[in-house]
Amino acid sequence: MNALTNTRIVLASRPQGEPVAANFRLEQAAVPAPGPGQVLLRNRYLSLDPYMRGRMEEGPSYAPPVALDAVMEGRTVSEVIASNHPTVAVGTHVVATGNWQTHAVVEGDSITRRLQETDLPISTALGVYGMPGFTAYAGLQEIGRLQPGETLVVAAASGPVGATVGQIAKLQGARTVGIAGGEQKRQYLETLGFDVALDHRAEDFAAQLQAAVPDGIDVYFENVGGHVFDAVAPLLNDFARIPVCGTIATYNARGAVLPGPDRLPGFMSQVLRQRLTVRGFIQSDFNALFPQFLIDMGQWLQDGRVRYREDIVEGLVNAPEAFFGLLKGRNFGKLVVKLD
């Protein structure tokens, strides 16, 4: 096994604003043999997700940053090709933190999900049937607390989290408004069953949103921030709930002072006046729900009540450019890199 070569992408420097190719470095290295209790993985699919932008920064966050010259962090679907762990068999497909590389050695005890034989592509374990899908499920259940007949609005609605949010909300009897960027993505939302689908790039987007929610907004699932939230805020009902999953519109401005007046005092006044619930969350906060998610989502996918779209990029070498596109909304569906 130690004759294998590992292709990997490391963090070469920290970005100043938007990430660029020079922030990454492609390397070749020998694959180490797994030690006691460890397993050797051949990574098959790598998930690219917006949170990775935060891992490139040194500033405070809910998880440590990626160190300079270390392999970029990422979740993978991987095949076990050597094992020194008594319960992780060679040939098993698992979800792991295999990172931006073709091979990884991990502790066997760190593997908490082994994939079972299903009709679904194994890549879905990184999307609708994995972390993004669970983010939608848990955020709605624990923070959104959606009731039948309420109105839900979700931003980045053509992405893996937003699309799943909208479809689960429909299953729960809500009226759903999806917001995406571009006409093609807007039309895709209609195929998923959203009651209203809007393009946030439209010049009259704010007016369209107001017309789409005549009874106001009860739950706003936040993935974006920026001008989308500016249009949403005046339309929130009393006691509205806002699960804050992401604010991708400002990820490249981390640490910078954004232009314009300070609107925080006004928003905090609105939070008080309207008794809003605004809660940021990370899906791992709700890990106790994950077994039930697998049951529910597995059934919904089997029945066709939840549909999904994947955007698959071929080859690890193309991961950085795909990641840049993700931060600008160029992907269409769950962005996954096929490493074979």
Phi, psi of 213 (to 5 degrees): -125, 65
- pLDDT at residue number 260: 73
pTM for the whole structure: 0.90
Structure tokens at 7: 């292709």
CA–CA gap between residue 253 and residue 162 (Å, rounded)? 23
pLDDT for the residue 150: 98
Tell me whether strands 217-221 and 236-244 are parallel, antiparallel or unpaired: parallel
CB atoms within 10 A of CB 13: 14
Give the mean pLDDT of 179-201.
Answer: 97
Spell out the residues 6+ positions from residue 332 whose beta carbon is closer than 8 angstroms to its own: 158, 184, 185, 188, 309, 311
pLDDT band at 257 (very low <50, low <70, confident <90, very high): low
Interval 195-223 mean pLDDT = 97
How confident is the model over 312-318, as a mean pLDDT? 97
Tens of pLDDT, residue by residue over 124-177, are 999 999 999 999 999 999 999 999 999 999 999 999 999 999 999 999 999 999
Strand partners, 29: 6
Provide the Cα torsion 256, 258, 261, 266; round to 10°.
Answer: -90
Q: Map out the domains of the chain with their CATH numbers.
A: 5-127+309-338 (3.90.180.10), 131-285 (3.40.50.720)
Angle (CA) 187-177-185 rounded to 5° is 25
22-38: pLDDT as tens digits: 999 999 999 989 999 99
pLDDT one-digit tens code per residue, 35-76: 999 999 999 999 999 999 999 988 777 788 999 999 999 999
Residue bearing tokens 């020194």:
84
Rounded average pLDDT over 258-276: 88
Cα separation, 306 vs 214, whole angstroms: 27
Are 168 and 243 a contacting pair, CB within 8 Å? no
Range 304-316 average pLDDT = 97
